[in-house]
A and B are shown apart, each in its own frame.
Chain A
Amino acid sequence: AQSVSQHNHHVILSEAASLELGCNYSYGGTVNLFWYVQYPGQHLQLLLKYFSGDPLVKGIKGFEAEFIKSKFSFNLRKPSVQWSDTAEYFCAVSPYNQGGKLIFGQGTELSVKP
């Protein structure tokens, strides 16, 4: 079955610390990859996406993600987090032949201490 696994359920960091959130997926075919962010009380917003080309993708607010095909991974990184990055982060996969539907990971809650 297709699935997306996010390794950390809750991450707590101090401001200026570096962030890496893990994401692995299980699907043998071509996929599009996404990271969405959900700030407290708000809806999901697209952080970044990968379709093809350079496996290192840069998104908004200083976030980036690297697609490693051999590891079926799409980890999210940020060199220096801010208090305003406190949110829940969702990795999602869209298998190419399935009409664009998204399969989400369980989410990682990030708390940044000021």
Chain B
Amino acid sequence: DAGVIQSPRHEVTEMGQEVTLRCKPISGHDYLFWYRQTMMRGLELLIYFNNNVPIDDSGMPEDRFSAKMPNASFSTLKIQPSEPRDSAVYFCASSLGGLAMESRKETQYFGPGTRLLVL
């Protein structure tokens, strides 16, 4: 398997512009997670989906952030409008299962991340 795929790998944009980050999870995985990594706050969970449905978005910083998962093989994280403080590395991860006894043993596999710089 190709693993979790993210695009773009690097994004430089100006404040106020819309930014869309993309993620393709590992085929067959039913959980998808979006994380943000910054020097100040470390790794934070933003939102996660189960079977394409958002389960917990309490980590989404504010209304400028939105995430969708239109099908099992694709998710987007959108920032509109972007601000310099959004500069970070955004990781997508996927896993198989999460609550059932057997699926407790599954772990998350991370993509290579998107390095975002907002000027």
A residues touching B (Cβ–Cβ < 8 Å)?
A: 32, 34, 36, 42-46, 49, 51, 90, 96-107
Chain B positions within 8 Å of A104 at CB level: 42-44
Interface residues of B in 51-101 (CB under 8 A from A): 55-56, 91, 93, 95, 97-99
Q: Please give me the residue from chain A that is nearest to B55 by CB atom.
A: A99
Bound CA span A112–B23, Å: 33
| A51/B113 in contact, CB under 8 A | no
Point out the residue from B45, B98, B103 that lies within 8 Å of A103, measured CB to CB: B45
Count of chain B residues with a beta carbon within 8 Å of a chain A beta carbon: 27
| A43/B111 in contact, CB under 8 A | yes
**Is B13 interfacial (CB 8 A cutoff)?**
no
**Is B27 interfacial (CB 8 A cutoff)?**
no
B residues touching A (Cβ–Cβ < 8 Å)?
A: 31, 33, 42-45, 48, 50, 55-56, 91, 93, 95, 97-99, 103-113
Among the interface residues A43, A49, A103, A104, which one has the most CB atoms of the partner chain B within 10 A?
A: A43
| A51/B98 in contact, CB under 8 A | no
Minimum Cβ distance to chain B for residue A45 (Å): 8
Minimum Cβ distance to chain A for residue B108 (Å): 6
Q: Please give me the residue from chain B that is nearest to A103 by CB atom.
A: B45
